[in-house]
Each structure stands twice: as structure tokens, then as C-alpha cells.
A and B are shown apart, each in its own frame.
Chain A
Amino acid sequence: MKPMTKIMTSIGLGLFAIFSLLSTAYAAQDSLPVKKLVIAGPPAGVSNGLFHLLASDGFAEIAEEVEFILWSNPDQLRALALNGKVDFIAMPTNVAANLYNRGAPLALLNVSQWSVLWMISRDPNMKTLADFKGQEIAIPFRADMPDIVFTHLAERQGLIPSKDFQLNYTATPMDAMQLLIMRRVDHALLAEPALSMALRKTKSFPLSVIAPELHRSVDLQHEWARVMGTEARIPQAGIAVVGDQRKNIELVTRFETAYAKATQWCQDNQQQCGEEVAAQVPMLSAEAVSDALAAQVNHYATAFDAQHELQDFLQILLDKQPASVGGKLPDINFYANPNSQAQ
């Protein structure tokens, strides 16, 4: 070898050695499970924990960089679940089962929302669903979970929804709220936080002048307990882990711990949580979020632990509207098992 080439080779090898050393040293420092974390959630209670983590830098132990995407309709949700770029998505449990059964690569991690369905009414004296007999009720999202739960509970009480109620299906909760405010309907079925938003809106000026007095009425979860003989809670929404990161045990475990803690914190610090959420989601008000938190039952479970309740719930949905859960009950791999190696 010529002398020039010898020197170049030595320098090259030397540089390579230095870089290797540096990078391994760097790597040794980097014990985070993933570089960038992408999470998504709707403007609803299930995302509260996520917002708290974002506000308090709670993902520091999990990823260097975190991106949050807000989804607001099922088409967006489906796109996020399938585009391979999102790691965790907060969503309703039946939608998770539906996506899973239709081939989306996800698993349900936990259920954090157990009491989101309420009636709202002009009449403060309504105690059970039977009290609404003969009344007109506005219900958003026809043939979806709220509708199915309502119908099921009514039927179990011996009522016939199509005959005993005048069900007025609206496209969105906003439309139901409009009907309430304009006094075209006296009762509605709403989910949190839409319900708390409605109550807050109508109590504040200028709507308070023209709007009727609206009250939080029957708690459907209590009706559930009364009629089904179980706890006053329904496994309605939680976090699903999506895509390849299902196999990343480290990530999944850390995320689960962080989210569970954050959700509990929100329950314990309702006002601050409300403020944090409102700061990140302009369409929600801080008071509505904290009101919603105050009204909810304080329960949390991993999907694995709540398997039984989930299956009972999904079965009811399957019986009434099979397409809403994807035509069948999801198999065991739907419930993320924190102990299992083979995901």
C-alpha cells in the first residue's frame, strides 16, 4: 500500500472507532422504550389522563418526543388505526372490538371510562327509565352504543322502546342539545362530557335567559345495576395499543402505569385536570370537564382484568347490532396481556 493510502486508512479506522464508542455510550444512556410516541384520542373523558401526561411531561420516561392527534369521527379513527403510524389510541371499547374483528392490528389495554351515559331532562323528578314513558327523547348516534344500551335497559324493564317512547334520533350530540335548548324536546340521552357541556351552557348567559332549566337526570349505569344485577358501571372506553408496538413489552407496561396514574390524578384533582384539558382542547370548557369527572364513578381496570365484564357488554351489543362490534366477540388476543411474551 502506498504511504498516502495507509494514512487515510488509519484515520478512517480511527474515526470509525471513535464514532462507535460514542454511539454505544449514547445508546447506553438511551434507555427509553421508543424515540417518538404517537398517541390519539377524542375530545372526551377517556383522553383526560393523556392530556395530564402531556401537560406534566409524564412521557419523559417513555419517549423523547410525543405527538398527540385529536380524532373526532369514526373515519378519522379508522384511518389512524390502520396507517401504521400511531401507537396508542383512546377509543370506545366496542369500536376497538369492531376494528379488531375487521382486521386492525390492535389490542385493548385498559378501560378507564365506566359511567358516561346519562339522561338530561327538563323534569327534575325522573328516577328511572320507566318515568320517561310516552315522552319524546333525543338520542344521538342511532344504532351505536348509547342507543343499544338504552334500548336494552328499557326492554329489560319491560318497556318497548319503539312504542313507549318517541325516540328522536339526531346525528350528533350537538343536534340533540339544540333541540333541548329550543324546547322542541324535553329529554335527551347524552354521554359525558357533552352532558356537562350542555348543562354549563344553558346555565350561563345568554342561553340561561331563554333555555329551559335542564337537569342531570337518570344515571344509566345505575339503571344497569338495578336491571342487570351487577355493579353500577359499564366498560365503555379505554386505550388500545396499535401496530408493532404491541410487542414492545417495556413500552406497553410503562405506558399503562403512567396512564393509570394520570387517570387517578385527574379523578383526585378535578379542577386542575379540567384546566389542563381545556388548555389543549378548545372545544371543551374546564368546568364541563371537571363536572364530568365529579359525576363519574371512580373505577379503573386493565382490559385483561375486566375481560368478563367486557365480554358481557360486547355480547349485548352483538345481540342487538352485530355490525357495531364487527359481527362476533373478539378472541383472547384482543385483551392485551401484560404478562404474555407472545403478542
Chain B
Amino acid sequence: MNRLRNLLPNTLSYLWSGWGALASLLLFCAVWELVGEYYGDLILPGPLEVIGQLKLMFNSGIAGPELIISGRRTLYGLSLALAVGSLLGMLAGFSMTTSMLARPLITLLLGMPPIAWLVLAMLWFGLGDATPVFTVFIACLPIVFAGAMQGTRTLDNHLKAVAQVYRLPWHMRLTDIYLPHLASYLFPAWITALGTSWKVVVMAELLSTSDGIGAALAVSRAQLDTSSTLAWVVAVLGVLLAIEYLLLEPIKRHLERWRVGVSQ
């Protein structure tokens, strides 16, 4: 009953946040248009032309398949990174020794530019799907790992004591104590990983595959087709924004409602 009562204000608040984001984006487009007019079409076509080009690409059936291919690779690489990273991070968080061992390795992994991994991946996996998937995996893994490890390590000892005194069984400890605390660390890490994964997939495809958005980007760049290039970029950004606001934002609001409170 409570949930229903709060559905309306929650939905309105969610829509309002989307409205704010939309306004900000439109402002950005206005600036883009201005700069584009100054430099001319060959260097920087304006947003209307680019969106027109994008529509063309969708209608002629070019854009859809490439998006699906890139999306598929992102999904595989990201899911692997989320699963492995979260699990290993939690295990590392439980053990002091593992945490100490892991810290410098994470710094190393985070500092390595994905392009270096890509070169290695091309050597190991050739030019198929595995190369971009691997590169995404290795680029996102340290982000998720670090978040999970920090989350597990910082669990309030006070709450652990409560769990012990009230004799919470292990599965209750997991669902009622560890996971909710962990979620507040994991979720931001997962969102960062999502943004990174798309960037890395496009970069990997640009250099190593013959299909997907990155590969299409390479071709339009070689053909000096700036508006197509920008159209692909807009497509990627559009997907990112859609996932962020349509999928992740509602989940985040649901998970974080204990911070904001029922009354808001």
C-alpha cells in the first residue's frame, strides 16, 4: 500500500530529473550548432545534419545491425567483468592479506591504457569477437574489483557485531547486512564500468574488427565523411544515455531509497 502511495511522487521526481538532463543536453546541442557554423560542414557538421544522417543510417538498415553487434560484445565483456570483479573483490575484501596484495595490482591495471591490452588481444585472439570482448573485460575488471573490495572491507564492524549477537544465519547476513552495504559501493562502480565498456568496445572495433560501430567509424573516417562519423558517435551516446536514464536510474532510485527516505 505504501509502495503504491509513493508511486506517483517517485515517478514525478524521476521524470523531473530526466527533464533536467534533457535541458542540459539541448544546451550542449546549441553550442555545437554555433561552433559548427563557424567551422563549416566539412570539419564540424551541426547537430541537425548529424541527426538527419543518423536517421538515414537507421532507415537504410546500416545502423541497427552494427549497434546490435557492438552491444553484444559490450554485454559479454561487461557481464564477465561484473561477475568476476564483484566476486573476486568481495573475496579480497574479506581477507586483509588479499587486499594488500591486490592494491598495487589494481593500480597497475587501472593505469594501463586499454589500447595496450588491445594490441595484446589482437595477437592472442586474432580479429574475431574475442578481441573486443577481452579488451572490455580487462578494462572494466579493476573498476568493479576495487569497488567490491572497498565495499566489503568497509563494512561497519558495529553491524557485524549486531549480526553476531542476534545470531543471524549466514544467508541472512549476506542478504541483510553485506549485500545492501555492498550495493552502495558496487553500484557506482558498475555504472562507471558500463560507460567505460562502450568506449572501449568502440575503440577496440575501430582497430581490430570489420564489423560493429567502431569498424563503421573507421570506414567513415577514412572516407572523410564527418557527418557519418559524428552520427555513429551520437548513436553510441544515445545508447549510453538510454541505458543510464531508462534502466540504471530507476534501479538506483530503488536501491537507494533508504537514503532518500520514503517521505520524499
Give chain A's interface residues, CB within 8 Å of chain B: 74-75, 78, 82, 95, 98-99, 102-104, 141-144, 167-171, 175, 178, 182, 184, 321, 323-324, 326
Contacts and interface: CB of A to CB of B under 8 A. Distances in A.
B243 to A, nearest CB: 28
Contact of A75 (B41, B126, B221): B221
Interface string B91-132: 000000000000000000000000000000011001100000
B138 interface: no
Given A103-B40, A169-B127, 20 more contacts: A74-B221, A74-B223, A78-B43, A82-B42, A82-B43, A98-B223, A98-B224, A104-B42, A142-B215, A142-B219, A143-B219, A144-B219, A169-B210, A169-B215, A170-B127, A171-B207, A175-B122, A178-B123, A323-B223, A326-B224
Given A98-B223, A98-B224, A323-B223, A103 B127 contact: no
Q: Which of A102, A178, A182: most chain B Cβ within 10 A?
A: A102
A103 B42 contact: yes
B67 to A, nearest CB: 18
B224 A74 contact: yes
Contact of A171 (B42, B206, B228): B206
B126 A74 contact: no
A183 to B, nearest CB: 12
- Majority secondary structure of chain B interface residues (helix, strand, loop or mixed): helix
B256 interface: no
Contacts of B127: 168-170
Nearest to A78: B224
B222 interface: yes
Contacts of B41: 102-103
Contact of B222 (A103, A104, A143, A167): A143
B60 to A, nearest CB: 12
B223 A324 contact: yes
22 contacts: A74-B221, A74-B222, A78-B43, A82-B43, A102-B42, A102-B224, A103-B40, A103-B42, A141-B222, A142-B218, A142-B219, A144-B222, A169-B210, A169-B215, A170-B127, A171-B206, A171-B208, A171-B218, A321-B223, A323-B223, A323-B225, A326-B224
Q: How large is the interface on B (under 10, 10 to 19, 20 to 34, 35 or more residues)?
A: 20 to 34
B220 interface: yes
Nearest to B223: A323
Contacts of B210: 142, 167, 169
B97 to A, nearest CB: 40
Contacts of A324: 222-223
Contacts of A142: 210, 215, 218-219
Given A142-B210, A171-B206, A323 B220 contact: yes
A284 B126 CA distance: 27
B223 A78 contact: no
A287 to B, nearest CB: 27
A184 B126 contact: yes
A144 B225 CA distance: 13
Q: Which of B40, B126, B228: most chain A Cβ within 10 A?
A: B126
Contacts of A82: 42-43
Nearest to A94: B223
Interface in B51-97: none
Contacts of B223: 74, 98, 143-144, 321, 323-324
A115 B41 CA distance: 34
Nearest to A141: B222
Nearest to A102: B42
Interface in B147-194: none
Top 7 nearest A-B pairs (CB, nearest first) are A169-B210, A323-B223, A143-B219, A171-B207, A324-B223, A323-B225, A74-B222
A74 B224 CA distance: 7
